[in-house]
Amino acid sequence: MEQLLNNISWKQYISTSIAAMVIYYAFISWKHYRSEIRKVINRVTGKSKNTLELPSALEYQEAPVIQSGETFETMVKETMAYAQQPAFSGTAGDLAWQLRQCIGEASDEPFAPAELIPKLQKILNDYPDVAATKDREKINALVVRECENTGTALLSESEVDLWWSA
């Protein structure tokens, strides 16, 4: 029995044991803490965003739950009322069409609200006569709704209202 262990020195035994432990714990860590490890690596290397993750605005949201007193028909009516587009005429109609077109084009590109917002501001500033009409609030609501529906940006109506004078 003594001859079996004589061929291995203590140094070889300890280094092999340490190597096996490092490999084992690296595997377990990678298996259970992969996302955290990637975040730390990205932070150390200077990459601020992981391209594999979706922006929070584009993440899946659960469907609304029907309350006990609420029927399916009332939910459909509320949804349809929300989805209906206000009718615009004249210059406001042209403005609405251009805004929808611009937001639709931005929905085909990667999520970049910083690039979309200046385009929308320019379009709004091209129609100063609409800014003084009652359609201004409808246009603001249209921009917010279209951006939300396409997932291009999360905006508020008050934020969009500030763009008219910018």
Residue-number span of the structural domain to which 33 is assigned: 2-45
Where is pLDDT greater, at 24 or 36?
24
72: in domain: no
Q: How far from the centroid of its chain's Cα atoms is residue 103's Cα?
A: 15
55: in domain: no
152: in domain: yes
Task: Report d(CA 134, CA 88) in Å as an integer.
Answer: 11
138: in domain: yes
62: in domain: no
Enumerate the H helices of 46-164 as residue ranges: 72-83, 91-107, 113-125, 128-131, 135-150, 157-162
108: in domain: yes
Angle among Cα 115, 119, 124 to the nearest 5 degrees reads: 145
For the cut 60, the answer to whether the pLDDT of residue 121 exceeds it is yes
pLDDT digits (tens, 9 = 90+) for 141-164: 888 888 888 888 888 888 888 887
126: in domain: yes
Q: How confident is the model at residue 11 (pLDDT cuts 50, 70, 90)?
A: very high
**Structural domains in the chain (count):** 2
pLDDT digits (tens, 9 = 90+) for 57-84: 666 666 666 566 666 666 565 555 445 4
Q: Are residues 34 and 100 in the same domain?
A: no
**pTM across the whole model:** 0.47
Task: Report d(CA 9, CA 117) in Å as an integer.
Answer: 69
What integer pLDDT is reported at residue 14 of this predicted model? 96
Q: Are residues 37 and 93 in the same domain?
A: no
71: in domain: no
Positive or negative torsion for Cα 74, 78, 79, 83: positive
